Amino acid sequence: MAKNDVVSYSLSTIQRLPSYLRALNDLASQNEEYVTTITLGKILNINPMSIKKDLAIISSKEGLPHYGFKISILISDIETILGYDNTKDAVIIGVGHLGQALLSYPGFTNYGVNICLGFDIDSNLIGQTIHGVTIMPLTKLEDLIERLHIHIAIICVPKDAAQEIANRLSKTTIRAIWNWAPINLAVPDNIVLKNEDIASSLAILTSQMEQSMKRNK
């Protein structure tokens, strides 16, 4: 696919890109130069056909029959799509265990997001710098978001505080909310909401486990 074409990729494809990127970086660090869809499929436990389809869409250069795709090119293509070269600022609200775990996550920036400020009500946290991010008092939430023109917010506050925070965020420049609190938030239509639903993942895991144990019995 020609570079600079304006395309939008399907969500299923986008969802897979980060894991491709990880596998490709691993391979690159082992000094591999080319990779086939079959090899990637084995590493990632994905049907190679899907990978073929994805790479056909995202790769700026065709693969070579018999050899596969050039790893360095794929890496730079994926980084471009994920916004590596167009990092977006974000804030995180609630810097308890979960918030701090996210702050320590390696490579948000590799995926196009830079957490530039944290907010909390805990006076022990306010003013501290955690993993390079300064924690501000929650009272300054709207003011700072507006002044810095932030579009992305990550909610890591306790469940009972989450809706209130979402309401406040809705009145600012925030356009996307990543919600880690176990609650169904209500937000206006112009805001994109992604719930990180722990319970949902868990339900899938246990149900798949039961299926698998039935099969192997």
Partner DNA sequence: TAGATTGTTAATCGATTAACAATC
Q: Which is nearer to DNA, 37 or 163 (CB)?
A: 37
What 3-state DSSP class applies to 203?
helix
The CB-of-42 to DNA minimum distance in angstroms stands at 10
Q: How many CA atoms lie within 13 A of 78 on its CB side?
A: 25
**Secondary structure class of 18 (helix, strand, coil):** helix
Interaction mask 129-158, DNA, x per CB under 7 A:
------------------------------
User: What are the helix (H) ranges across 30-70?
Assistant: 37-44, 48-58
CA gap 172, 142 in Å, rounded: 6
Nearer to DNA, 13 or 25 (CB): 13
Which region among 49-57, 64-72, 135-143, 192-200 touches its own copies (by CB under 8 A)? Answer: 192-200
- Candidate list 2, 6, 11, 199; residue touching DNA; CB under 7 A: 11
Q: Which of residues 60-99 bind its own copies (CB under 8 A)?
A: 82-83, 88, 96-98
- CB 150, CB 174: distance < 8 Å: yes
- The CA distance from 217 to 213, in Å, is 6
- 162 and 155 Cβ atoms separated by less than 8 Å: yes
Q: What are the structure tokens assigned to 48, written together?
A: 């190679």
Q: Which is nearer to DNA, 54 or 120 (CB)?
A: 54
* CB environment 171-207: b (16+ within 10 A), e (fewer): ebebebbbbbbebebebeeebeeebbeeeeeeeeeee
Please identify, using beta-carbon distances, which residue of 38 and 101 lies nearer to DNA: 38
Of 71, 91, 92, 113, the residue at the interface with its own copies (CB under 8 A) is 113
Q: Which of residues 26-85 bind DNA (CB under 7 A)?
A: 36-38, 47-50, 52-53, 55-56, 59, 62-69
Which lies closer to DNA via its Cβ, residue 62 or residue 122? 62
Binding site for its own copies (CB under 8 A): 8-9, 11, 14-19, 21-23, 26, 43-45, 82-83, 88, 96-98, 100-102, 104-108, 110-113, 151-152, 159, 175-176, 178, 182-184, 186, 190, 192-209, 211-213, 216
